Structure 1
């Protein structure tokens, strides 16, 4: 129905070369988020051309560019990645467009079992990160966090990534990890987050926020009652 073909109609109306834009959006939906990966995946040999198409998609707010939250000059950063701004578009380009022929034949069960279900947890996990970040931003607005954060977002380098990093001008940091999985989060996840924070950040005060779809282990819950720097959200 409407949702099945809406992105196609919308983009054909808005864009002059829909096939090229579709190939770029599909590449991003499948996790090719860096410029060189998009160039490779789409087969468009000229990176400047791809950049031009990405600029149009950003103007339409279909695509957003993200850089690690600690970058001083975000617009000049070479660490930028491109993401589909809307979860519905992410789903459509990841699962509907590539399987259009099966869906048009009414083969919904095959698409669900073979194409969607195996990777749905990873897809949902990324959206869960967005929800966790929004939750932390809301708490920050209400002054409920241990300090007033000035910036908040994802962080990564070429070795590691942290789902959420929030900080102020006084070198206080919150490091957050978001786990969308069917078992509870335990001490291992906390220790891994602490290790990443120690390796890459010079912080005077550190807090660790863990978000879980399936709750927390007894050991982690007990430890969080003893330590004021552990924040648990489920």
Structure 2
């Protein structure tokens, strides 16, 4: 979603619930963001999922049906987008859709405000090498845009609930809860990546940003690539794991930059659990390190924001 929408939702969630720290804020926002519910963030997240989502399943499922028109193609596409790599063509394949019915579902979900496109910044080999005869693989390569969800909760539903919906309807929650415990960090990583871009752009607010977002092509992916009008290049990687980021990750990111022929003005790491002492010693003008608590700088008062209910009603 756009930086502004996500920032507004993030602020609204904080000022409604006042979690004790930013790690809690991000973890709970990744699940309940956009619902406009009051959440007791002092409670364990599994307890809240059981009491607020599973016990209210019928009501929530009816709202999701209204949002998707109860259309199976819409639901299959959202599930594929939530659980896959977010690329449109691979989501069509995963959902068993073609360009026709998949495109119709995509357009409806965009018009409804459930999702929005994140456009690829990859250049096709034809543009890079206009005078060269391309290999078959290069000539047939399709650049695929990605999709972002408008509210964290909608992605949560299609990431965790929809794959287990038959069991949940029978009040059999075992596989759903096990799946959540296994994949929670992996699921939250995307929201953390989106929020990290917001934080980076917030810190670059005096610069004229001309392009920002994730970067991907056939061989390489970078979490954040931000370009400013004065020619500066900011490259960021985000790790929502229970391990500190170490120097090895810096080497990996530098390798990616070399492959893309990028010379970053600044490398930025965002980490749930901080950084190794070795990496901390390298912190400076060319290497910026953000931990969870640094997201406090995003918290400012904001006006009433649109929630999922606004899209449904």
TM range (shorter): 0.7 to 0.9
Which of 273, 280, 287 aligns to 1:214? It is: 273
* 1:229 equivalent among 274, 286, 294: 286
Q: Return the structure number with greater strand share.
A: 1
CA–CA distance in structure 2, aligned partners of residues 88 and 123 of structure 1: 11
Greater shift after overlay, 154-163 or 166-175? Answer: 166-175
Distance 2:121 2:184 in 1: 27
Deviations 1:204-234 (A, max 9, x none): x52000010111111111111xx41111100
Q: What is the distance in 2 between the residues matched to 1:133 and 1:97? A: 28
Find 1:8's aligned residue among 47, 57, 61.
61
Residue 110 to residue 40, structure 1, CA distance change in 2 (3 Å):
closer
1:33 aligned residue (41, 66, 86): 86
2:147 pairs with 1:82:
yes
Q: Measure the CA separation in 2 of the matches of 1:172 and 1:23.
A: 41
Residues 69 and 232 (structure 1), Cα distance of their counterparts in 2 relative to 1, 3 Å cut: farther
2: CA distance, partners of 1:11 / 1:123: 20
Taking the aligned partners of 2:267 and 2:214, their CA distance within structure 1 comes to: 14
Spell out, residue by residue over 1:111-145, the C-alpha distance to the aligned partner (whole angstroms, 9 max, x if none).
212x211121111111110111111122222x3xx
Distance 1:150 1:71, change over 3 A: farther
State the secondary structure of the residue aligned to 1:153: coil
Which residues of 2 match residues 19-58 of structure 1 at below 5 A?
19-31=72-84, 33-44=86-97, 46-58=98-110
Unpaired segments of 5 or more residues in structure 1?
Answer: none
TM-score normalised per structure 2: 0.63
Q: TM-score scaled by structure 1? A: 0.83
Query: 1:192 offset after TM fit, Å?
Result: 1.3
Contact 1:32 1:41 in 2 (8 A): no
Q: Which has the higher contact order (CA 8 A, sep 6+)?
A: 2
SS of 2:288's partner is strand
The CA deviation string for residues 152-171 of structure 1, in whole angstroms up to 9 with x for no partner, is 21111111111111111332
The count of aligned residue pairs is 221
Distance 1:107 1:15, change over 3 A: closer
Q: How big is the shift at 1:149?
A: 3.0
**Could you tell me how far apart the structure 2 residues matched to 1:116 and 1:82 are?**
22
Q: 1-side partners of 2:73 and 2:247: how far apart?
A: 46
CA contact (8 A) 1:35 1:47 kept: no
1:121 equivalent among 185, 191, 203: 185
**CA deviation profile, 1:92-127 (whole Å, cap 9, x unmatched):** 0111122223333443344212x2111211111111
Give unmatched runs, 5+ long, in structure 2. 1-51, 125-141, 292-313
Partner residue of 2:112? 60
Superposition pairs of residues 144-183 of structure 1, within 5 angstroms: 148-183=208-243
